[in-house]
């Protein structure tokens, strides 16, 4: 049996009968540099939400729960011109490996998924996903960590400390790590990210100063509530940054315009977008991805 699956049915058979096929597919994968040339931009599709129990898109509570549908959407997105790679948890990346969908793509592993959506311990965001050594072993190209900080929640301190040591470990392996920082607070028991200019600038300052070196650190940042604030906010750090997408609901045109404006800033080097491209309101994944690439 080949170590590359032609269908999801064959993928499941490989997983059950030849688990070593994952390592074989990773060893054979054709790699590429994170950036191909000077001035290059990144277009990364994000699909690490399910591992944190975040399955909803818009009004669909379990939109991302159907793994076969998610894989089909991911393979379509990855096939579109201008898409550089994917960010996901180990199970999703290994599915894509076995389906042969990661050839010549940037593969970014999601590292801390312990802060489950809606949990009392959501801000004590443990590193339950990829470790730096896992990314090295599979020949993956980068890691990503989520850094949410609530000044009223002691769990944030543990996450800060763990994030700093993980950045150190990634730098020791010379692997880029994308840090996604937020200041947040609980409102009626639910965690809300503060997208005001002051909060985003503060989160960038904190993330940029973590660990013993920032040489391999990138930032993954949201567009501020007022897009006009993005210029001054991005002056908080000289670290390269990508914009995150989030769930834009039905207002895709507004989101695209915000990204278009922010992509002109000197430290912004691309987009990492997931749900809004994989599950667009009109269902046309190819159109949504192509529009984002065109920005």
Q: What is the pLDDT of residues 209-243, one digit of tens each?
A: 999 999 999 999 999 999 999 999 999 999 999 99
- All residue ranges of the chain with pLDDT < 70 are 1-3, 246-250
In a domain, 91, yes or no: yes
CA angle in degrees (0–180, nearest 5) for 22-28-32: 115
What is the number of domains present in the chain? 1
Alpha carbons 206 and 179: distance in angstroms, whole number? 11
In a domain, 1, yes or no: no
Question: The whole model's pTM is what?
Answer: 0.95
In a domain, 178, yes or no: yes
CA angle in degrees (0–180, nearest 5) for 198-204-207: 140
Q: Indicate the Cα dihedral angle 60, 64, 65, 69, nearest 10°.
A: 110
Give the range of the structural domain holding residue 134, as residue numbers without chain letter. Answer: 8-294
pLDDT (0 to 100) of residue 132: 98
Please tell me what DSSP assigns to residue 52. Answer: G
Q: What is the pLDDT of residues 55-89, one digit of tens each?
A: 999 888 999 999 999 999 999 999 999 999 999 99
In a domain, 206, yes or no: yes
pLDDT (0 to 100) of residue 250: 65
Could you tell me the two tokens for 122?
A: 């959501």
Cα–Cα distance list, 156 to 145, 150, 152, 161 (Å):
14, 6, 9, 9
Could you tell me the two tokens for 65?
A: 């729960």
Could you tell me the two tokens for 4?
A: 């590359």
Q: Indicate the Cα dihedral angle 107, 112, 118, 121, nearest 10°.
A: 180
In a domain, 2, yes or no: no
In a domain, 3, yes or no: no
Alpha carbons 237 and 204: distance in angstroms, whole number? 7
What CATH number did the domain enclosing 231 receive? 3.20.20.70
How would DSSP label each residue in 258-287? HHHHHTTSTTEEEEEE-HHHHS-TTS-HHH
Could you tell me the two tokens for 102?
A: 């990661």
């Amino acid at each position: 049996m080949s170590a590359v699956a032609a269908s999801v049915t064959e993928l499941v058979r490989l997983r059950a009968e030849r688990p070593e096929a994952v390592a074989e597919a990773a060893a054979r994968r054709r790699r590429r540099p994170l950036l191909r040339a000077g001035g290059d931009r990144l277009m990364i599709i994000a699909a690490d939400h399910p591992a944190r129990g975040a399955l909803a898109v818009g009004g669909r509570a379990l939109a991302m729960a159907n793994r076969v549908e998610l894989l089909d959407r991911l393979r379509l997105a990855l096939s579109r011109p201008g898409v550089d790679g994917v960010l996901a948890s180990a199970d999703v990346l290994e599915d894509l490996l076995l389906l042969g969908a990661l050839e010549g793509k940037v593969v970014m592993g999601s590292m801390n998924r312990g802060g489950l959506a809606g949990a009392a311990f959501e801000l004590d965001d443990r590193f339950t996903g990829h470790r730096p050594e896992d990314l090295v072993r599979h020949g993956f190209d980068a890691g990503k960590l989520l850094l949410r900080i609530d000044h009223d929640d002691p769990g944030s301190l543990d996450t800060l400390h763990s994030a700093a040591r993980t950045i150190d470990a990634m730098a020791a392996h010379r692997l880029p790590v994308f840090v996604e920082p937020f200041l947040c607070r609980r409102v009626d028991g639910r965690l809300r990210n503060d997208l005001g200019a002051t909060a985003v600038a503060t989160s960038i300052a904190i993330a940029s100063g973590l660990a013993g070196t920032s040489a391999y650190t990138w930032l993954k940042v949201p567009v501020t509530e007022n897009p006009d604030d993005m210029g001054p906010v991005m002056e908080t750090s000289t670290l390269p940054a990508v914009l995150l997408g989030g769930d834009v609901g039905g207002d895709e045109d507004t989101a695209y315009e915000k990204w278009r404006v922010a992509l002109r800033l000197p430290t912004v080097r691309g987009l990492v977008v997931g749900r809004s491209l994989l599950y667009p309101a009109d269902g046309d994944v190819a159109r949504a991805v192509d529009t984002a690439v065109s920005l």
